[in-house]
Structure 1
Amino acid sequence: MADIIFVSLGMVVLDEIRFPDGKVLCNVPGGSGLYSTLGARLAAKDATTSERIGCLVLAGSDFPDTVAETLRDWGITLRLQQVADRLSTRGLLQYQGINFKDQVFKYTTTPLQHTTADLADHPRILGSLAFYFLASPQDLEVSVSLLQVLRHHNSVPAQPLLVWEPAPASCRTELRNEHLRAAKLVDVYSPNHTELLAAFQLGNATPTIFDCNIIEDLALQILESGVGPDGQGAVVIRCGEHGSLAVSQSYSARWFPAFYDSTSSKVIDATGAGNSFLGALTVKLVEGAGLTEAVIMGLVAASFSIEQIGLPERAVTDGTETWNGVGVSSRVEEYQAKMKRLIGK
């Protein structure tokens, strides 16, 4: 049986979404665990690869069968555990203003989330070649330490690839040193640009105008402090409509444009885009791709996440898989063509 190549320890959340016009959607699946797994699945080349994507879901007695069926349809290795006396993790997401850019979120049930300790009950998933974390610096350090202990006790060889998206609430200047310390434990450190500024822009107010020079300077400072156990890790800053920045000791800082321009009518809801980006990026890196290929796949995965409320629609016609009617490889080619046009200007 082939090794698992990706596991997310994020949550699956069932959202009630309320719109400014009074419209309400219920049981919309989301959460960092789901969207990062979606990104990993989008990066899968074929059915064999999709089976190597692990997904742990801790669900309550009310978890919808339709959501479980969707995950099984992706062909991933799903471990869904239902807790009979608990409700599933649910949230209320209220959109305000236009274009869904302003939103307020709160949990409406006590969150259910697998921890690193739970991996002991899933030996195959424990042996994954890569893990994605959405965590505070303190929680990340605990998780990585425990992961190492569990893998050692279970004779799991090799060091897994670790990708860390810092929890937004932990991105504060007073935790700057904690971020730098935790970044040394992972292979990829990836806040978005607002989280980066909140955690590292000492003594300055957050700028109202996006400044790529500030973003790049801060990323280089983090890299200089050290990312990864051997200092060879990467900093990837996700900047929404402004694209993404990637840099490592062996990879000069490079900016990548977003798949869609900010004015595109295809952009419906950016929720989960960053998680999807990192799931796809992780899979490409663990497969041996360089940062350029990995970031491109991340941006492509994010593009599928933002075209609708909730998850993109998967279909298979005559053996060909599409998401929202488009093949992933076709979209990669479309993005590469866009980059060539921009470089040619």
Structure 2
Amino acid sequence: MDSHFSQSSQNPIFVSLGMVILDEIRFTDGKVLHDVAGGSGLYSTLGARMTDTAAAHPKKVGCCVLAGADFPDSMEQAIKSWGIALTVIRDPSRLSTRGLLTYSGDSFKERTFEYTTTPLQPTPADLSGSPLLRSQAFHFLAPPELMATFAADLAALQVSAGVAAQPLMVWEPAPASCHPAKRDAHLETAKCVDIYSPNHIELLATFGSGVGPPAEEFHRKTIEEQALRILDSGVGRDGDGAVVIRCGEHGCVVVSRSYPARWFPAYHRGSESSRVVDATGAGNAFLGAFAVTFAIASDLTEAAIAGSVAASFAIEQVGLPDRSSRHGKEMWNGEEFSARVDRFRTMLETTVNGWSAGEE
């Protein structure tokens, strides 16, 4: 798949127009955490920021936050500490986007989420007059009708700003829009973006049989077949887009018309799976790192590797991973991003299409 843009040293690499959410988290033991940083905008920005390219040039990663009167200064400062190009638009007449995340059962897999305030969704118009409008890649989480509007609005704003090259557009469909009634809308909107990326539950909820909830048992053949059907319908403005299905502990599958379907394992598997604490934000972090890497390298394999590694850092704790420095090297949870990339490459050498012998 060809790159749609030039690598101008003056332009941002990545901007997310997902939301930054203040979460209240309720655990099964009665423990409650307040004002935990969350949301697709924050976690995709985290994933983008972790990559080696962004570590060397953090200002090339951008994030637009719509904040209410209650948005904590401490959270703004925490995000700024990453060194990114951060735009915070405050509306003192409103409350920030807040959510309630409730865990049940014995694992972090069983959870529910609901908004407790009216969501504040950034739009391309919020970037008008900002250098972020010139980004090489954009990430969105939106229902199909809104995503189509965002794509058209972004194109018009860029033309008005004299941006000649088309950016990479990565679409993560809003979970609530993933049901059979929206199937045709998803297929039509996928033609407006370059990367269409639901998770496997969202994929089956939209494109499955429509009879009851998606089956709990995982079948990668079914996932792959649905991804190929979407690709056949058309993804990308010139039909050269890609479908990326994020499948949690099962890894991910990536396919385009010029890239046969390939599975990549999750970084944490086997003995390493004990390091998994909370999967919240992992898929968003995956897409941020994926977008940055593909924007630079135009290589789906490299993008999937970077995304898988970014997700691995996101799931090792509740909330954001720890960022530190050691001997001039940036660390996340005490490890270099590039070191995990190298280990993941080694892991791929022992798998066939992302799966170890006997694992299918």
Query: How much has 1:102 moved relative to structure 2?
Result: 1.0
Query: How much has 1:46 moved relative to structure 2?
Result: 5.0
Contact 1:44 1:283 in 2 (8 A): no
- Are 1:14 and 2:7 an aligned pair? no
Query: Which residue is 2:141 aligned to?
Result: 134
Query: Which residue is 1:250 aligned to?
Result: 258
Counterpart secondary structure, 1:252: strand
Aligned length: 344
Distance 2:46 2:210 in 1: 38
Query: Which residue is 2:202 aligned to?
Result: 195
Amino acid across the alignment from 2:348: M
Contact 1:47 1:75 in 2 (8 A): no
Counterpart secondary structure, 2:350: helix
1:42 counterpart (34, 39, 50): 50
Query: Which residue is 2:344 aligned to?
Result: 335
Query: Which residue is 1:183 aligned to?
Result: 190
103-112 vs 168-177, which moves further? 103-112
Counterpart secondary structure, 1:208: coil
Query: How much has 1:249 moved relative to structure 2?
Result: 0.6
- Are 1:268 and 2:277 an aligned pair? yes
Contact 1:59 1:112 in 2 (8 A): yes
- What percentage of aligned pairs have identical amino acids? 55
Unmatched runs of 5 consecutive residues or more in structure 1: none
Contact 2:180 2:210 in 1 (8 A): no
1:86 counterpart (80, 87, 94): 94
Counterpart secondary structure, 1:235: strand
- Are 1:221 and 2:229 an aligned pair? yes
Query: Which residue is 1:95 aligned to?
Result: 103
Distance 2:344 2:106 in 1: 27
Contact 2:49 2:55 in 1 (8 A): no
- Are 1:58 and 2:58 an aligned pair? no
Counterpart secondary structure, 2:351: helix
Query: Which residue is 2:36 aligned to?
Result: 28
The CA RMSD measured in Å over matched residues stands at 1.5
Counterpart secondary structure, 2:11: coil
Contact 1:241 1:262 in 2 (8 A): no
- Are 1:232 and 2:248 an aligned pair? no
Contact 1:58 1:81 in 2 (8 A): yes
Counterpart secondary structure, 2:193: coil
Query: How much has 1:183 moved relative to structure 2?
Result: 0.6
1:323 counterpart (309, 329, 332): 332
Distance 1:243 1:14, change over 3 A: same
Amino acid across the alignment from 2:145: Q
- CA deviation vs aligned residue, 1:20-40 (integer Å, no higher than 9, x gap): 101111111000000000011
Distance 1:297 1:111 in 2: 30
Query: Which residue is 1:297 aligned to?
Result: 306
Query: How much has 1:84 moved relative to structure 2?
Result: 2.0
Contact 1:99 1:268 in 2 (8 A): no
Counterpart secondary structure, 1:58: strand
Q: TM-score, with normalisation over the residues of structure 1?
A: 0.96
Distance 2:20 2:11 in 1: 23
Query: Which residue is 2:171 aligned to?
Result: 164
- Are 1:287 and 2:296 an aligned pair? yes
Contact 2:17 2:140 in 1 (8 A): yes
Unmatched runs of 5 consecutive residues or more in structure 2: 1-8
Contact 2:179 2:205 in 1 (8 A): yes
Distance 1:110 1:172 in 2: 22
278-287 vs 52-61, which moves further? 52-61
Amino acid across the alignment from 2:245: I
Amino acid across the alignment from 1:29: A
Q: TM-score, with normalisation over the residues of structure 2?
A: 0.92
Distance 2:147 2:54 in 1: 31
Counterpart secondary structure, 1:280: helix
Distance 2:339 2:55 in 1: 18
Contact 2:55 2:330 in 1 (8 A): no
